[in-house]
Amino acid sequence: MAIFMVIVFLGFGNCIHAANDLTLKFATSLKNLHPMMACPDGGPVPSTNGTSIRIGSDRFCYLSFAADCSFDSSGLPVNCGTGGCGKNTCTLDNPPVVATTIVFNRGTVRITIAKGYNFGLRAEFLCAGCPSFSCVIPLNTCPDNLKELDNSGSLVGCNSGVGLPSGENCPADGPSSDGKNVFTWPIPNPILMIHVVP
């Protein structure tokens, strides 16, 4: 099965606009990567249809990823083979229950493994002197009792719990909201490139 590079540009639009919005881009070698977003702040969920996405500085949203997805005629994922979705297949309405997650919280961003880990994430703000951060954990370091397997028995994630390894900017133990792992948007209307790695 061929593995190919996928570059998804989300949220270009006009370069100048009144709102302070974060624009996301994704890069990956994973097959049929699909971003899945939820926003518990009660506002509308930004579109993740592959053509545009912007997150306002007043929003509180979570972003996770599934891969090896098939898609329906409207371009939404019908099921995904990676990430772990309980007894059901992954869909937009049933996102991965084991997933490395990016939290956007009213002008700040951080990575958390509170829901476990399925993919490595490396993120960088595309501006001179702006910060980058990452969460990359070898899946083979996951303890046996935390392993998430697919229907064929392949390891596709590591559940949260005692023994879950830490990543550089995604500590497994203690509060992940401490200052060194939370990043404020460095400039108005920044662009964030997220590399999703196996």
Say how far apart CA 67 and CA 8 lie, in whole Å: 13
Q: Is residue 23 part of a domain?
A: yes
Q: Is residue 45 part of a domain?
A: yes
Q: Is residue 33 part of a domain?
A: yes
- State how many domains the chain has: 1
Q: Is residue 54 part of a domain?
A: yes
User: Which domain covers residue 104, as residue numbers?
Assistant: 6-197
pLDDT over 60 at 2, yes or no: no
Q: Is residue 1 part of a domain?
A: no
According to DSSP, the residues that pair with 35 across neighbouring strands are 65
Q: Is residue 144 part of a domain?
A: yes
Which of 62, 60, 141 has the alpha carbon at shortest distance from 97? 62
Q: Is residue 86 part of a domain?
A: yes
> Any idea what the CATH number is for the domain that residue 71 is in?
2.60.110
Say how far apart CA 71 and CA 57 lie, in whole Å: 31
DSSP string, the chain: -----EEEE---S-S--SS-EEEEEEEE-STT-EEEEE-TTSSPPPP-SSS--EEETT-EEEEEEEEEEEE-TTS-EEEEEES-BTBS--BTTB--SS--EEEEESSEEEEE-TT-BSSEEEEEESSTT--EEEE---GGGS-GGGEEE-TTS-EEEE-SSTTPPPBTTB-SSS-TTSGGG-EE--SSS-EEEEEEE-
Q: Please state the pTM of the whole predicted model.
A: 0.81
Q: 11: pLDDT confidence band, cut at 50, 70 and 90?
A: very low
Q: 1: pLDDT confidence band, cut at 50, 70 and 90?
A: very low
Residues 101-129 have pLDDT tens digits of: 999 999 999 999 988 899 999 999 999 99
Q: Is residue 138 part of a domain?
A: yes
